Each structure stands twice: as structure tokens, then as C-alpha cells.
Amino acid sequence: MKLRYIYSACVVVETPNVIVLSDPWFTPAEYGSWHHYPPLPRDPVEIIGKVDLIYISHLHSDHYDPLFLRRYLKKFPDTRIIISETRHKMLEHRMLLDGFKPNVFSDETFDETRIILTVNGDDEIEGDTGCLIIHKDLSVANMNDCGIDQKQINFIRKNCPNGHPTVALLTYAGAGPYPQTYYFENSEERKIAEKRKHDQFLKMYSDYCELLKPERAMPFAGSYVLGGPLSKHNQNRGVADAVEVLQLEKCGDISFVLDDGGDAIFDLETLTANKLRTKPYSYEEIQKYLDSIPFEGYNYEKEFKPIGDKPLPLKRLCENAYKKLIKNRQTKEVWWICFKPTNHSKFIVFNTSVDKGVSELDSVDHLEQRWEIHLDERLLFLILSGYYHWANAEGGSHLSSKRVPNIFLHEIQDFLYFLVL
């Protein structure tokens, strides 16, 4: 049984019975801001080669890449796509709309190889799934972006032949817009936020190792850099390099980092690898690479075509979307959302808890508690129209935010996920 690392959450697990590719992502994501580093040396279709199954874990752009899937399946049409059964079926519905026919299951056997797909968390809204591949007494637990869920962990360990995985593939780095796109009073506060995020995800990796108790563990997923003008934020994202797990006190000795390039392999029988990476990448190297590739603009800058010089009706669109949003998603905490689109002199303002309509204000300094969001007017138009989704715009670092007070509340962050006509 062998594990080959391709990029980010994309790995190939090969047993004598079946070859499984997981989460291939090779198209710049989140409306053009997420890029790969280091780049693969040649076409990923060639590097990956023929596989039997492609497992897609969840909807995030760095896990579900429909453009690449179409290109891959054009060359290898017999390859099957597999996804986990979920209550919400969001990934399944999206894939059907995109023209794919995924095989949906929770547990299936291929001769002497068993594949178990497990749901992370409460399964109420689109989340993540894990994949356990078992061959005889060897197993790989692919945890993708899964947060620590004791029920899921217990289920995986129960199904491993030895009570624990041979290899666990674990998240170690947090994606998203915080802290790099958020306002801080001073540089010291920003540095504290960066370190807190950096340490939080390394701790989660370490905690996962403690709970799953794998023989070996590899950090993976969340491997992207911001391209274009947003590349200025790369140093401030609070993201660890994968090799930092090698220094962790509780699990550094069982951890390994397969090298980039698509040809690094870990053998589960011998617990050895042919190519390992032990040195971190420098931001200077990353920026030099990003400066060397053409940048033609983010998706909304290229795709949006205005009609003459008419101003975009953003307030009216917000009013229509807000009517549905405040009716179905009222928050317990009382916050003001304050959009400041480019080319608009006023803020577009509405409340998350009480229906006070949508207003335009010159200043929002008097509003407490508030979330100011500065963004491109074209991006906001596409989100409100349903062509884009808030989660991708936020995750892609396309927004500049200021929270007063500067605290994180899940229900406020999640409120805007449903902002659409």
C-alpha cells in the first residue's frame, strides 16, 4: 500500500486492488486569488496518471475543482467519482448541476480494499468529510479540513485493523481571510493575531495525533498562496509551513512531509519515503515566483461587463436579499453590517438581528456593534445576484474588514453566507 503526494489535499493512495485520487485542485481558486506554490513541473493529469476512483471531500474550491475534473475525465472517462453520503447533499447537488454523476456511499469494498467515507460534525450545513482506506492490516485516514470531532475519530479508530491508522493525513494550516484582511489598531495586535492562528492550527494537528494515534502522520491541505495584488498579505496570514510539525513536541517524531513535485511516495509496509522535505519555503521565493507569472485580474474584474455608465443598483439588490435573510437567519447578537463598495460614497447598512431595512449612510462610526466591509462593487453585485458566493469571496481575501469591537462571532460571520436574491 502506497501514498503519493501531489499537492495540498491531493494525494494518491494505491493498493493492489484500487487506486484512489483525493481532492485534485489545479485551477486558481476563490475567484482567482488562490494560487499554487510550488507549481507542479508538468501537466497534473500526466503526473497523476490513471486512477480508478476520485474522492471529493467537500465543496471548498481547493478540494472540488470541476474544471480539472472535466479535463481529467476527458482523458480517463472510466474513472469514477466518489463522495460521502450527507444529510444536506450540497456537494452531490452541485456536482449534478456541473454535469458529474458521483457515486455516493459510506462504505464500499473493492476486493481486499475497503473505503469508508465519514461525515465531520453535525452534518446540518455543508461541511467536510473524511476518507478511510483499508487494505489488510494497513490504513490511511484522510482527514482533509475536518475539525476535531470525537465521534468521527472514534468511528475511524474502531474501523482501523489495529485500532488506529497506519498513516493519518491531517490539517495543519488555516485558510480564510483572518487576520490578513482585518483592521488592527497597531502592528503589535496584528502580530499577536497572526501567532495565535499559527499556533492554533499546529495545536490542532498535534491534538489530532494524540486522539487518532497513527503510526505516522503527514500535514497536508490548505496549501495555497495569494496571487495578484493580494500577494502582499502572504506574510501576514498566520499560516505555518508544513515542515514546522516536525518540531512539535508530542508528534514531531512520527510526522513526515513528502516533497513537492508529484513523485514523492510513502510506503506503508516499510514506513519509509523516497523524497522528504525538511526545509520551509521563504516568502521571498514565493513572491519572486508570483511576480514571474502573468496576472490578468481577479475573476470579477474580468467577467463583469457593465452596461454603459449606469451605477450598479446595489442598495436595491441588498434590500431584496435582506428581506429573505432577516426573515430566516436573524441573529441573537445585534450587529450592523456596513458595506462600502468601491465607487460608492455611502455605506450600505443593515442589521443582523432586527429588521430595520437597508440604509445608506455617510458614516457608520456611531453604530455599535458593527462589521465594516470594504469590497469591489462588481464583486458585491455578483454575490447578490447569486453568480458568486460570499464564502468564496471572503475566503479568497477579497474583502477588507473592520470589526467594532474586534471579536469573532460565528453567527455573525455565517449570516452573510445566505446573502443572495
Domain assignments of the chain as residue spans, ordered by start? 2-292, 314-418
> Quick one: which of 332, 411, 419, 359 has its CA closest to 383?
419
Distances (CA, A) of 246 to 170, 226, 251, 257, 380: 13, 25, 8, 8, 42
The C-alpha atoms of residue 66 and residue 68 are separated, in whole angstroms, by 5
- Residue 6 to residue 142: CA distance in whole angstroms: 14
User: Is the Cβ–Cβ distance between 330 and 323 less than 8 Å?
Assistant: no
Superfamily covering domain 2-292: Ribonuclease Z/Hydroxyacylglutathione hydrolase-like (3.60.15.10)
The CATH homologous superfamily of the domain defined by 314-418: SCP2 sterol-binding domain (3.30.1050.10)
Nearest of 295, 172, 307, 275 to residue 227 by alpha carbon? 295
User: Which 8-state DSSP code applies to residue 182?
Assistant: B
Please give the Cα distance from 346 to 363 (Å, whole number): 7
In angstroms, the CA 74 to CA 78 distance is 9
Contact 29, 61 (CB under 8 A): yes
User: What b/e sequence results for 76-90 when a residue is b if at least 16 CB atoms lie within 10 Å of its CB, and e otherwise?
Assistant: eeebebbbbebeeee
Amino acid identity for residue 91 in this structure: L
Residue 374's pLDDT is: 99
- Decide if 273 contacts 265 (C-beta within 8 A): yes
pLDDT tens for the chain, 421 residues long, are 999 999 999 999 999 999 999 999 999 999 999 999 999 999 999 999 999 999 999 988 899 999 999 999 999 999 999 999 998 888 999 999 999 999 999 999 999 999 999 999 875 556 799 999 999 999 999 999 999 999 999 999 999 999 999 999 999 998 899 999 999 999 999 999 999 999 999 999 999 999 999 999 999 998 999 999 999 999 999 999 999 999 999 999 999 999 999 999 999 999 999 999 999 999 999 999 999 999 999 999 999 988 788 899 999 999 999 999 999 999 999 999 999 999 999 999 999 999 999 999 999 999 999 999 999 999 999 999 989 989 899 999 999 999 999 999 999 999 998 888 7
CA atoms within 13 A on the CB side of 246: 11
Closest by alpha carbon to 301, among 388, 361, 178, 366?
A: 388
- Total count of residues recorded for the chain: 421
> Which residues lie below 8 Å from residue 371, measured CB to CB, with a gap of 6+?
335, 336, 337, 338, 401, 402, 403, 404, 412
Rounded to 10 deg, the angle between the 187-212 and 150-159 helix axes is: 30
Quote the radius of gyration of the chain (alpha carbons, Å).
22
Distances (CA, A) of 98 to 65, 94, 209: 11, 6, 36
User: Rounded to two decimals, what is the model's pTM?
Assistant: 0.93
Give ∠ CA 386-391-397 in degrees, rounded to 5.
Answer: 115
Whether 392 contacts 399, CB under 8 Å = no
Instruction: Report yes or no: 202 and 209 within 8 Å, Cβ to Cβ.
Output: no
* 202 phi and psi angles, rounded to 5 deg: -65, -35
Phi, then psi, of 205 in degrees rounded to 5: -60, -45
d(CA 344, CA 144): 40
Q: What does the alpha-carbon distance between residue 372 and residue 172 come to, in Å, rounded to a whole number?
A: 30
